[in-house]
Structures are given as C-alpha cells and as structure tokens.
Chains A and B, each alone.
Chain A
C-alpha cells in the first residue's frame, strides 16, 4: 500500500534552537533513511521543501487572472517541510520507517494514497 509521510516543522529556525551536532546527526540520518528506502525498493518519491516563507497562495478569481498572495495557505507555525511516498507491505513496516523520522520531527502525518477501485 502506498502512503504519504508528511513531516512538519521549520528548517531555518533549527539554527536557532538546535546545536550544530544535532543538525549534523539529523542530516546524516535523513540521508541514510532515503538510501535505505531506495535500497529496499519501498521509496516511490521523496522531496524536501523550501521554507514556508517562500510559499505563495494562488486563488481562483472569477474572470480575472489568478489572485496571488505571499505566504502559505494554512497559517501555522509548523508547515510541511518534506514528504516521502513509500510503498510498504505492512503496517508494521510503515511504523518502522516512521519511527526513524519522528525521532527528529516529533510528529508526522501519514495518509494512504487514493487507489483505483479493485473490483471494476
């Protein structure tokens, strides 16, 4: 089953609240996680995002050009900073993977991807 694992936070402010050692260890572990998921054949796609201050929100405007405002869609301190799409055999395996990520982020949101209907 394919899941999206979403990590929230603020990468830039890491420099204000964490030690250089903590950041270095986190970077090393993130690289190792990506490599392990690639090697196991479970990684579909992963990406890190730039800071939420780089976000623009674009809205439908009736008859006019798209309305653009600076900033993220949802105002919150913690916004999406990275995600993985993994294809795993079991919930147990999913929890194993997530366990390595939440060590650094505290919390992630996990959601199954919508799938094609099976009995059509």
Chain B
C-alpha cells in the first residue's frame, strides 16, 4: 500500500539524483547512492517523522553513501588520496534546477535495451525500489538488480554525459522517452498475470512520469503536442480500467459498464487533447488519444461516432501505417459500412508476415464474422485466435467467445 512517505520519496527521487549528478558526475554511482538513501528514508521516516527539509536530508544521506562507496573502492585499490570533498547539502537556487528531462534522456539512452530502459527509468526517475520494479515485472529481484546494473554499465561505456544533449537532439530523444513511458503503461494495463495492484502501480507510475515529462518540456515546444497526446491517451485508456475485467475475464469495450468509467480521467484527457490538436505537428499519440476520446464520450456503444473514428484511423494510417492500425480501421469500417466491408479490408492483411504469429487478425476476423452472422466460421476463427493468444486473459476471453457460439 502506497503511503504519503512513498509518494514524497518518489517525487523527490529525480531531484535528489539530479543534484548529486550535477555536483559529482558519475551517474551510475550516484544512482546507487540515491537508491540507498531512499530505502533508508522509507525505513526511518515513518517511525521518526519526516525531516523539516526532506530533500536536503536525502541529498546529505545519499552524499554520505557515495563517499562511503568511493572510500571503500579507493581503499581496495590502495589509493591514498581522497576522491572528492563532500559539499554540505545546500537548498539554494541551484537545487531548484529541474533535471527530470536530462535524467529521462539518460535512462532511455539508445545503448540500453528497451526492457532495461523501462527498469532504469522507474528506478532513477520514478524512485521505485528494485524490489517494487521486480514484482511489477514478475521477475526475481536479483534478476532486476542485474538488469539495472547492466543498463548503467551500458550508459557508462557509451560515454553518455548527463545534461550535455543539445535542444535538437533532446527533442528527438523525447520520442524514445515517450515510447518507454507508453511501454511502462501497457505493461501495467495489458497485464498477463500477477497481482492486480502491482500492475496498476505501473499504469499509475507511467501517468505520473508523463506528467513530469510534460511539466519539464516547456523549453522544447516541438515535443509538447505528442507528449500531451500521450498523457491524454493514457488517461483516456486508464479511465476504463474498472470496467474491462470481471472475475478474471476481459470485457470488450462494447460490453463494458460505462458507469464504471472514471469521469474525472475522461474529462482531463478530453480537455488535454482538445487543446492540443492543431497546435503543432500531428503525431500518432495525438490521433490515438482523439480516437480514445470519441469512445469515452459515447454514452453507449451504439451511440459511438464510428464515422469519426474511421476518419481518425485513416489519418493514423497515413502518418504511422502498420497492420495493427489496419486491423482497427477494419473494425471501424465494419461499424460504418457493415461487417463484409470490414472483412474485405482484413483480406488485405492475409499475407502480412508481421501478423504471422499474432492472434489479432483471427480475433478481429472472428468478431466481424460474428457480426455478419456466419457463426460457424466465427467460432473457428475464435479457436484459432485462442491458440495464438500470448496473454492468458485474452486466450480465455477468446475461448469463451467460441464456447458461446457453440450453444
């Protein structure tokens, strides 16, 4: 269960790390020291009370951990000289520098593998402990610790320096940061097992970090529309969370109890995307958010504005074409022009190698065949899709659909 101390620590984590790295360099060592300081605070603060200046406390403790680590290292190497002098923790103007952006860019460095980018971002910027990240990703803690330490080694050997990225490069790298945050979100949202609350943690963290990213992007105007689009997409998707599963069974959008949708998240997501569209270059996150907004604003499935959704999928296919976009467009087309029109569009994907190992083509085909009234063919397609489903909740959902058609 998250406590106010946890929330405070996560909020302070990137600021403390930023201060240390600015002061001493060596991202890798500073990151370890901050993690130790966070763990110490999580142990002491609930019992002793939160210090008057929690940020200064963390900077001081992390600084000491850093000195300890370097002293033991230099002792091992039989070096005599002091590695550096620890400055007193100051809370002056320099401390207010927002290092979030630089930290995110470093954690999402191209030299680091995607799964490690996620883990390192959650730890260094999100302030989660290795144990928390490990349980969210359903791997042992030792495995996650190793993944994080390899990620840091990769950054070090790539020679990446903190805060030395130009504005142009920063804008480009934001695309990777957004992708990492969206992966964190999906890891939590499209869960395939594990404890529900641990997975929810990931969607909550992804939204919190995307808010931080947006707040830190004021000097990167070109990056703002897509980051806003991403935040809106996450909010509009997460708004349906309570309605999309019942007793371990997935509920498709059309059958969800819309009274369970989170009206606050929907209002915020809709406002964000409305004020963003047209302010800059259009991008895939903005379009997907606009589509999610049309769904979320419809009082019933029947009242959904499928024409607008179809038009938006056409826009999306124009800027970010791919088989999954075509699949979704086929569903929208089926709702506008009838299931046979949708099935004809699906036919264009039959030989697409990118869908060869995916269950999605058969799942969509089954759904459209069902709408068209061809129940035996629909049932066969549901069973084929169930065989290829990579997530067990989806596999079960597809098996239940097939079973229903057999009645």
Contacts and interface: CB of A to CB of B under 8 A. Distances in A.
A15 B388 contact: no
B392 A15 contact: no
Contacts of A19: 403, 407
A76 B311 CA distance: 48
A48 B248 CA distance: 14
Given A24-B249, A31-B248, A51 B407 contact: no
A51 B403 CA distance: 17
A87 to B, nearest CB: 16
Interface stretch (A6-14, A88-96, A99-107, A112-120): A6-14
Given A15-B399, A19-B407, 13 more contacts: A11-B396, A15-B400, A15-B403, A15-B406, A16-B383, A18-B403, A23-B396, A24-B400, A27-B248, A48-B392, A50-B388, A54-B387, A54-B390
A28 B248 CA distance: 7
A41 interface: no
A20 B396 contact: no
A98 to B, nearest CB: 21
Contacts of B193: 47-48
Nearest to B402: A15
Interface string A33-60: 0000000000000011011011000000
Contacts of B383: 12-13, 15-16
B41 interface: no
A14 B404 CA distance: 11
Contacts of A31: 247-248
B389 interface: yes
Nearest to B357: A54
A11 B403 contact: no
Contacts of A12: 383, 386-387, 395, 398-399
Interface string B354-398: 000100000000000000000000010011001111101001101
Nearest to A38: B195
B208 interface: no
**What is the interface of chain B mostly: helix, strand, loop, or mixed?**
helix
Contacts of A11: 386, 395-396, 399
**What is the interface of chain A mostly: helix, strand, loop, or mixed?**
helix
Nearest to A28: B247
B245 to A, nearest CB: 11
Interface of B: 193, 247-249, 357, 379, 382-383, 386-390, 392, 395-396, 398-404, 406-407
Contacts of A20: 400, 403-404, 407
Contacts of A13: 383
A47 B406 CA distance: 29
A105 to B, nearest CB: 15
A13 B404 CA distance: 13
Interface centre among A15, A28, A53 (most CB of B within 10 A): A15
Contacts of A47: 193
B351 to A, nearest CB: 18
Nearest to A29: B248
A67 to B, nearest CB: 19
Contacts of A27: 247-249, 396
A51 B387 CA distance: 5
Contacts of B406: 15-16
B372 to A, nearest CB: 19
Contacts of A50: 388-390, 395
B305 to A, nearest CB: 31
B249 to A, nearest CB: 6
Interface centre among B382, B396, B398 (most CB of A within 10 A): B396
A81 to B, nearest CB: 10
Contacts of A22: 403
Contact of A51 (B249, B395, B402): B395
B247 A24 contact: yes
Contacts of A16: 379, 383, 402-403, 406
Contacts of A23: 396, 399-400, 403
- Nearest first, the 9 closest Cβ-Cβ pairs linking A and B are A15-B402, A15-B399, A12-B386, A12-B387, A51-B387, A20-B403, A48-B392, A14-B399, A15-B403
A92 to B, nearest CB: 28
A51 B386 contact: yes
B248 A53 contact: no
A18 B386 CA distance: 14
A67 B406 CA distance: 40
